Amino acid sequence: MLEKINKLLLLVIMLVMATATSTSVYAGGKVILYSAHKQAIIDAMVPRFEKKTGIKAEVIKAGSGDIINRANAERANPQADVIWSIGGEQLEASSELLANYIPVGYDKIESAFKVGKNWLPYTAIVNVFIVNKNLLKPSQYPRTWKDLARSDLKGRISSARADKSGSSYMQLATVLTIYGDKGWDVYKPILQNFVLSGSSSAVPRFVNDGEAAVGITLEDNAYKYVQGGGPVEIIYPEDGTVAAPDGIALLKNAPNSENGKRFIDWALSKETQEFLVQEMGRRPIRNDVSASGDLPPLSAFKVVPYDFSWSAGNKDLFRKKWNDILIGE
């Protein structure tokens, strides 16, 4: 009888320990993240963060514009802690929603990327063209932004919407930066050649699958398909492109502010930045982490300076102009 009681007590103790173990996995609470990241990156990174910190990460994925609209609508009662990986212009334009935070290892961030008010650089992004080698010969590749206006490319170029996508808006602003007063004259026929997608991450997939001959996208999005052996090639525009940071930021009055800070510290850590380089094809913003050897150095192509304040300050005006051109003014 005593033996049975001891066995029963042992079983109860084991059940209690198992319950304690399962509930302590996220004993550090939770953090709520609004992100425009590709789902593949979210799926790869969130388990790493949770394992490292014991904090449960809840991710709401949406386009950059939708994320900012949501954060604005919730400003009196914030529902998220961190905005994770969206275009810097949109963070700059909404900096009043954001809490200033200096992360651990801030001194290791390249000074050239410390350009935001109340937001931090997350990775360095480069705007590129991706071409399908089965649909175009090298002599037919677009080599400049102006080449995208060629009549033989009409309806064959995939792009996200500049009024929804942070990266697509940056592409528009890049053309306006390069060509100044003539920027809209250059961009208008380019836009008329586009087949627009609701998702920026879908653009390189359309090119890889042969649904489009050319895509305007971010370097890391294109690089994934190159790595995968797809029939694609990356083109760096000869008339210039932008190499600038996308951003990460802590929201003001965030419900889980301390965990939000821990997430930012983790995202900008040397370990995580190295993972982003090695596994995701992103360029780091830390000066103690090197870019992938498979990607050309920034010195290998023409990089144009990018003014986030100018871009953010003109966002509403430029998006209205973009929509006016789209519907034929």
- As a whole number of angstroms, the distance between CA 63 and CA 40 comes to 15
Q: Is there a contact between 215 and 235 (Cβ–Cβ < 8 Å)?
A: no
Query: pLDDT tier at 3 (50, 70, 90 boundaries)?
Result: low
Terminal Cα distance for the chain, rounded: 89
d(CA 24, CA 119): 32
Q: Can you spell out the DSSP letters for 141-163?
A: S--STGGGG-GGGTT-EEEE-TT
Are both 29-124+245-291 and 125-243+300-326 of the same fold?
A: yes
Question: 19: pLDDT confidence band, cut at 50, 70 and 90?
Answer: very low
Q: Helix %, strand %, coil % for the chain, to 5?
A: 50, 20, 35
CB 149 within 8 A of CB 239: no
Could you tell me which CATH class the domain 125-243+300-326 is placed in? alpha beta
The rounded distance, in Å, linking the Cα atoms of 148 and 258 is: 46
Residue 5 has pLDDT above 70, yes or no: no
Q: What is the mean pLDDT of residues 280-306?
A: 90
pLDDT value of position 288: 95
Listed by start position, the domains of the chain span 29-124+245-291, 125-243+300-326
- CATH assignment of 29-124+245-291, among 1.10.3720.10, 3.10.20.600, 3.60.20.10, 3.40.190.10: 3.40.190.10
pLDDT tops 90 at residue 309:
no
Q: Tell me which of 78-87, 163-172, 226-235 is least confident.
A: 163-172
Q: pLDDT exceeding 70 applies to what percent of the chain?
A: 91
% of the chain exceeding 90 in pLDDT: 73
Is the Cβ–Cβ distance between 57 and 276 less than 8 Å?
no
What's the pLDDT band for 329 if we cut at 50, 70, 90?
Answer: low
Q: Which residue has the tokens 């930021």?
A: 249
pLDDT (0 to 100) of residue 10:
46
Q: Where are the alpha helices (DSSP H) in 180-218?
A: 183-191, 202-208
The string of pLDDT tens digits covering residues 94-124 is 999 999 999 999 999 988 889 899 999 999 9
Q: What is the mean pLDDT of residues 27-49?
A: 92
Cross-strand bridge partners of residue 34 = 60, 83
For residue range 62-77, what is the model confidence (pLDDT) as tens digits? 988 899 999 999 999 9
3-class DSSP assignment, residue 131: strand
CA 213 to chain centre: 23
229: left (phi over 0), alpha (psi -120 to 50) or beta: left
Model-level pTM? 0.75
Burial of 228 (0-12, 13-18, 19+ CB in 10 A): exposed
